[in-house]
A and B are shown apart, each in its own frame.
Chain A
Amino acid sequence: MILKLENVSFGYKGQPVIRDVNLEIPAGSFLSLIGPNGSGKTTLLRLMSRVLEPQQGRVLFEGRPLSDMNAKDIARNIAVISSEQFFEFPYPVSEIVAMGRYPYLARLHGLTHEDYQFVDRALLLTNLENLRQRPISHLSSGERQRVFIARAIAQQPKLLMLDEPNAHLDIHHQIAIFELLRSLNREHGISIVAVLHDLTSAAAYSGITVLLHEGSVIKVGKPGEVITRTLIRETYGVDVDVFPSPAGGFPLVAFAPKK
């Protein structure tokens, strides 16, 4: 069990956002977190990465409470890519990725040979070798997203969390990112928790889907069990068509203009 949430609740000024969530995430999962806007997905992600502290309940990483771990500890195990990234300063790609080694560095010491190897590996996996020296402000959004993923990979995490990684990306880049995540999960054993808004990609790539609605977990299970017409109508409030994908094994969600 790589991550476990026990009776986690959280709210702002009396407004509950996350209500009594219980969740067990096995190691090696690729979990998609879906739900309508405002259901609390980003908040839940923040609670799982200790940006926020639960007001009730606790979050356990491999059996240890997150609250017992310090920032560097967590960073060595969990890497997070938020939806909002800043790149005002023109650091070259290699330096951005090298920042992923921060949790391992001793004060006043530079990066070791080993550190550089991890950085190189991350760049290789994300296909950024030839963009090493390019300042990050000069990249396209697709390339930038890969840089942030590379940085996360350089952290050598056991768990990778992403918040809507494919917003603003074209279909080419969306597929590229998903394939990358899939290979990280399958070939390198990194568990993945991703907040996704596109239900079809969630269904295609993830092994577990969690449906969140108004701060509570409505259903957990295989994508096919969670992404159903009924559940979507109950939570998202729309009528869609759900049918098996021609590729087999997962549902497709489709909708058409009203007549």
Chain B
Amino acid sequence: MRPAQRLFWLLLATLAIGGISLLLGAVGIPDWNILVTVRLPRIILGLVVGMGLASSGTVFQGILRNPLADPFILGTTGAATAGVMLANLFGIHNYYFLYCMALGFALLSIALVYRIALIDGKSPIQTLVLAGVIVGLFFNSLVFIVFSVFYRESFNVLFYLLGTLAGGDSVLITVSGILTIAGFGVSWLFARELNVLTQGEEAALHLGVEVESVKRILFVTASTMAAACVAVAGMIGFVGLIVPHMMRAIIGADHRYLLPASALGGAVLLMVTDAMARTLAPPTEIPVGALTALLGAPYFIYLLHTRQQAGEF
């Protein structure tokens, strides 16, 4: 099957699974009110976040030339939590404001990472990764310190960042949705450049790619998508790491097909796991991040195993 055909089937599958998801949840088959006000937004959020995380992971893996990169490799979650905690300390509980703080701080940490890694107008990949680890650690420590000292006040906020799709309301879903789709669109425009970048920065330069500006653009889009997802849904791991791998095995490494495939694959994975999160032990909700890890890890091991047999890695 040609890649374009596979994409088509993937799209169909996404819509089908979305439809089936409407029937699954804590109250079984819901009445119209619950369906429209609670369940549908949640499924749309699953679509958006799945798409955003997977696309972000794909782009990061491409520009960092690291198949083990995930959207949070540059410390976005810690920063987002720090932002929300800070707002909470000042007694601000307004939900929209907290979202802005989470988004703002996540974007801030990315700008910081880029700035730290910038030397002589260039930001080599290795330095970016290191800077990301450092900034991530910094914000995480900040979060821990604030939490230990202001225990009682910070409690509800810590769980703000717990990965869950329960929280988005239509405004925030729309904002994150727009950011994610925009990020995806721009990344897709640069899919060819992304392909060439995987050959190495110097090789890409020799092939005519404006490496520094392309890297900067892709960096911004991938980070924005990750930040938009974290701000609305907290930290949901594994999706950004595994889906690009899965899709690379299915549709190939050409980002012109890989990016949309990852987006759809991420949406599917998250919708399925969120359906499980809602349905398995009602009315308790199993954290969706734990389920993605539970589903993802064995599949990842399976992938590694088959690749080893095929002689890679």
Interfacial residues, chain A to chain B (CB-CB below 8 A): 49, 51, 70-76, 78-80, 82, 84-91, 95-96, 99-100, 102-103, 105, 107-108, 137-138, 151, 155
Contact = CB atoms under 8 A, between A and B. Distances in A.
Contacts of A85: 199-200, 203
Give the dominant DSSP class at B's interface: loop
Given A99-B195, A138-B311, A86 B200 contact: yes
Contacts of A74: 208
B202 interface: yes
Contact of A51 (B192, B198, B202, B253): B202
Contact of A88 (B65, B202, B207, B252): B65
For B198, B208, B211, which residue has the most chain A Cβ atoms within 10 angstroms? B208
A188 to B, nearest CB: 19
A49 B206 contact: yes
B200 A105 contact: no
Nearest to A102: B207
Contact of A76 (B208, B210, B312): B208
26 contacts: A49-B206, A71-B208, A71-B211, A72-B208, A73-B208, A75-B208, A84-B202, A85-B200, A85-B203, A86-B65, A86-B198, A86-B199, A86-B203, A87-B199, A88-B67, A89-B248, A89-B253, A90-B248, A90-B253, A91-B254, A95-B195, A95-B254, A102-B208, A138-B312, A151-B207, A155-B207
Given A82-B206, A138-B311, A99 B196 contact: yes
Nearest to B310: A138
A79 B206 contact: yes
A12 to B, nearest CB: 10
A85 B252 CA distance: 20
Given A51-B205, A89-B67, A151-B207, 18 more contacts: A51-B202, A70-B210, A71-B208, A71-B209, A71-B210, A73-B208, A86-B198, A86-B203, A87-B199, A88-B65, A88-B67, A90-B253, A91-B252, A95-B253, A99-B207, A102-B207, A103-B207, A107-B189
B195 A80 contact: no
B65 A102 contact: no
B198 A102 contact: no
B207 A84 contact: no
Contacts of B252: 91
Top 3 closest pairs, chain A to chain B, by CB: A75-B208, A103-B208, A72-B208
Given A99-B196, A105-B192, A107-B189, A90 B312 contact: yes
A75 B207 contact: yes
Contacts of A100: 207
Contacts of B198: 86, 88-89, 91
A235 B45 CA distance: 67
Interface in B194-222: 195-196, 198-200, 202-203, 205-211
A250 to B, nearest CB: 30
A73 B208 CA distance: 7
Given A85-B200, A90-B312, A75 B254 contact: no
Contacts of A75: 206-208
A89 B211 CA distance: 19
B243 to A, nearest CB: 16
Contacts of B196: 99, 102
Interface string B174-198: 0000000000000001001001101
Nearest to A101: B207
A103 B208 CA distance: 5
Nearest to A79: B206
A15 B191 CA distance: 40
B247 to A, nearest CB: 12
Contact of B209 (A49, A102, A108): A102
Contacts of B202: 51, 82, 84
Nearest to B202: A82
